[in-house]
Structure 1
Amino acid sequence: MNKSTFEDEIQRTGRLIYTNVGDSMMPLIRQGKDLVIIEKAVGRLKKYDVPLYKRDSGQYVLHRILKVREDGYVICGDNRWQKEYGITDRNIIGVLTGIVRDGKTISVNDKKYRIYVHLWCDFFPVRAFILHAKNFLKRRLKK
């Protein structure tokens, strides 16, 4: 059996559908439960887009754009508080266009999705504080 990369699949079919691994995009994407639909990115991405990108280390990541800069993007997972810098168009493989949850496809153009995105991202400082505090408490309780 031939093993293809995410890049190969998007190049071949224009689309990639897979089950996400990790919790960095919770509560939007549930690990092992939801399917993500990634399509080839056309042109420059925008704030709130969710690119699938490949870090220089070779790791694939699916996180949200919080800010578009001339030289790249500021990106962060929905379940993270630390922003990532230095991601450029050369790292981008594709962009999230939908999520399949419990057999129903949710488009990134869906009104409920757009409301979630604005609430989740526009209040980033509050979300970051809560996530950071939660993580701090979790580490403290382990000791």
Structure 2
Amino acid sequence: MTKFEDIIERDGRLIYTNVGDSMRPLIRQDKDLMIIEKPQGRLKKYDVPLYKRDSGQYVLHRILKVRDNDYVICGDNRYCKEYGITDKHIIGVLTAVVRDGKEVLITDCKYRIYVHLWCDLFPIRAFILRIKTIPKRLKRKLKR
């Protein structure tokens, strides 16, 4: 089985369909294509790296903060931040999304507006996402 890092190393990029909902509404599962390329140097705030956790799990989430030795990362549809992701974990970085047959570059003006609104308002977004999970958590507790 070919690993993502092998494909990026060989071809210079990976074009892949998303699995999961952690990057909604930007990336829709089984609908949108992601174009991921080899990173050029240290990543910046708002970049979306493809990284591999120490467990071996591949993840595509957004950088909320760049620190000296690591990144603070969170999915667009998540409210828990992840710490300790370093450059050694990073395999590639999102450069475009293909949605409904149209390529949207990360340099596109509408994309950049979305990113700033979505990330700069993180506390509000996190609060809303937490509230949305209450019914699921209650349902699980009642089943026990």
| Aligned counterpart, 1:38 | 36
- Partners of 2:64 and 2:41 in 1: how far apart? 17
Structure 1 position 141, deviation (Å): 4.7
Query: How much does 1:7 deviate?
Result: 0.5
Same amino acid, percent of matched pairs: 74
- Structure 2 partner of 1:106: 104
Of stretches 130-139 and 116-125 in structure 1, the one that deviates more from structure 2 is: 130-139
Letter in 1 for 2:92: G
Q: Deviations over 1:39-78 (max 9, x none)?
A: 0001000000000000000000000000000010000000
Cα distance in 1, alignment partners of residues 87 and 137 from structure 2? 36
Q: Which ranges of structure 2 fall in alignment gaps of 5 or more residues?
A: none
Partner of 1:8: 6
Structure 1 moving runs of 4+ over 4 Å = none
SS at match of 2:113: helix
Residue deviations 1:63-116 (CA, integer Å, cap 9, x gap): 000000001000000000000000000000000000000100000000000000
- In 2, the alpha carbon distance for the partners of 1:41 and 1:62 equals 14
The alignment partner of 1:89 has SS state of: coil
Distance 2:73 2:123 in 1: 14
- Pairwise CA distance, 1:140: 2.2
CA RMSD of aligned residues (A): 0.9
Amino acid at match of 1:10: I
Match of 1:47, as an amino acid? K
**Distance in 2 between the 1:94 and 1:100 partners?**
17
Aligned with residue 117 of structure 1, among 112, 115, 118: 115
